[in-house]
Amino acid sequence: MRFSIADRNSDASALAKLFSANLNASYISHSELQGARALAPGKWAPDIQGTLRDEIVDRLHEPLPRFPKGKNWIGVVEAYDANSLVGLAFVTIAADAPIPYGVIEDIVIDGTRRGKGLGEEFMRWLIDSFAQAGARRTFLESGIGNESAHHLFERLGFKTTSIVMMREG
């Protein structure tokens, strides 16, 4: 697999299409509910693809060969197998935190390609890229019912550190 930081030359519509085509209700976590992506637990916004495209466009910058070191940054990473787009991740670096950290906000692998180790390879690349950028911790959050992803995250050394709760009204 080949990974690259998406930039102003990337196809935001293709990235949003891949992302939206591979979502299910178990993916929804508190970040989707805090923004425009989800209307309620288990219920995506009607134009999720357009919402994702807008979010992606906001994260596209000048081309970079690697995550920037020593500065706060948000971006999108593309994953390719041969010449086919097979995954993407939304990432953030908080370099000015007392203990610098990276966040894997979202990671999506094409559903037809899951179960072949691509997600694990992508996660390891992201973790290594955060470390090279000076991040000493990596965080992520995941929908409560996304069990297969949770098993992968645990295999990679992630531990549950909190439980997020929500109340309507």
Structure tokens at 146: 């996304």
Domains annotated for the chain, with CATH where assigned, are 2-155 (3.40.630.30)
Tens of pLDDT, residues 129-161: 999 999 999 999 998 888 889 999 999 999 999
Three-class SS state of 122: helix
Structure tokens at 61: 């910058």
Of all helices (H) and strands (E), which one includes residue 61? Answer: none
pTM of full prediction above 0.75: yes
Distance (Å, whole) CA 5 – CA 44: 27
- Binned at pLDDT 50, 70 and 90, residue 23 comes out as very high
- Binned at pLDDT 50, 70 and 90, residue 107 comes out as very high
- The DSSP bridge pattern shows strands 73-81 and 2-5 to be antiparallel
Distance (Å, whole) CA 133 – CA 128: 9
State residue 8's pLDDT score: 96
How many CB atoms are closer than 10 A to CB 60? Answer: 17
State residue 22's pLDDT score: 95
Per-residue pLDDT at 115 exceeds 90:
no
Tens of pLDDT, residues 48-104: 999 999 999 999 999 999 999 999 999 999 999 988 999 999 999 999 999 999 999
Specify the DSSP class assigned to residue 7: B
